[in-house]
Structure 1
Amino acid sequence: MASVELEIAARKYAIACRDGEEEHLRSVAAIVHRKAREAETALGSLGESRQLLFASLLLADELKEIRAGKAPAPESFAEPDPAVAEALERLAERIEKLAETLETRASNA
């Protein structure tokens, strides 16, 4: 089992992956990082969870449009892996639930 250190939205993460998948993981992390920066640029200063939420939503939206044939696939998604797409969609849902929980806790504090 290999380990890769990734930086997404100014935070470092140590992620385990199968041997030989390090470069693939780095490349998909770079996509998430770019989307997180895109969200921050568009919406201004965001907390980490909100920034990752919007990055995930941007990615899920892009994947949905590609699947529906409404947008040309960017080079990095020329042949999307269905497992990656499903994982990103699940991640977007989980992050959205986390953001809602954090907002509820903040308003109750």
Structure 2
Amino acid sequence: MAETTLTIAGRQYDLRCRDGEETHLAHLAGLIERKARMAQQSTPGLTEVRTLLFAALFLADELNDMKREVAGRQEALPLGGEDDPAVLAIEALTARLEKLSDGLAAPAADA
């Protein structure tokens, strides 16, 4: 088990993590630290707890926006029409796979 120290909102946190994850945790702490600084700059005098609360809310808001964007892009994908070349190719591959599967299952049934 590895140990690392993260600094967020001016306070140090000693954590244990799996070996090799120290850099990733430092990166995540950096993201939180930037949001904590944003909170402190926009509302001076916040307590440590409220600073971390606002940092978490900022990050959650970004995550929510990204999830919406991904969902919107998935809906906009051009798949779906029966005459769509991608759909036709997938259907043809599916039929071939089913035929191969049936061919492999038939000798097993005879045995």
TM range (shorter): 0.5 to 0.7
Q: Aligned Cα RMSD in Å?
A: 1.1
- Which residue does the alignment assign to 1:41? 41
TM-score, normalised by the number of residues in structure 1: 0.62
Cα deviation code 1:63-104 (max 9, x no counterpart): 00011008xxxxxxxxxxxxxxxxxxxxxxxxxxxxxxxxxx
Which one has more relative contact order, counting CA pairs under 8 Å at least 6 apart? 1
Q: Kindly indicate whether residue 8 of structure 2 is the aligned counterpart of residue 8 of structure 1.
A: yes
Residue number in structure 1 paired with 2:57: 57
Name the TM-score, length of structure 2 as normaliser.
0.61
Alignment partner, residue 94 of structure 2: none
Q: How many residues were matched structurally?
A: 70
What is the percent sequence identity of the aligned residues?
Answer: 49
Structure 2: gaps (5+ residues):
71-111
Written as runs of structure 1 = structure 2, the 5 A alignment for 1:71-82 is none
Q: Choose 61-70 or 44-53, whichever is displaced more.
A: 61-70
Could you tell me which amino acid in structure 2 is paired with residue 44 of structure 1?
P
Displaced runs of 4 or more, over 3 A: none
CA distance in 2, matches of 1:67, 1:42: 26
Correspondence for 2:102: none
User: Which is higher, the Rg of structure 1 or of structure 2?
Assistant: 2
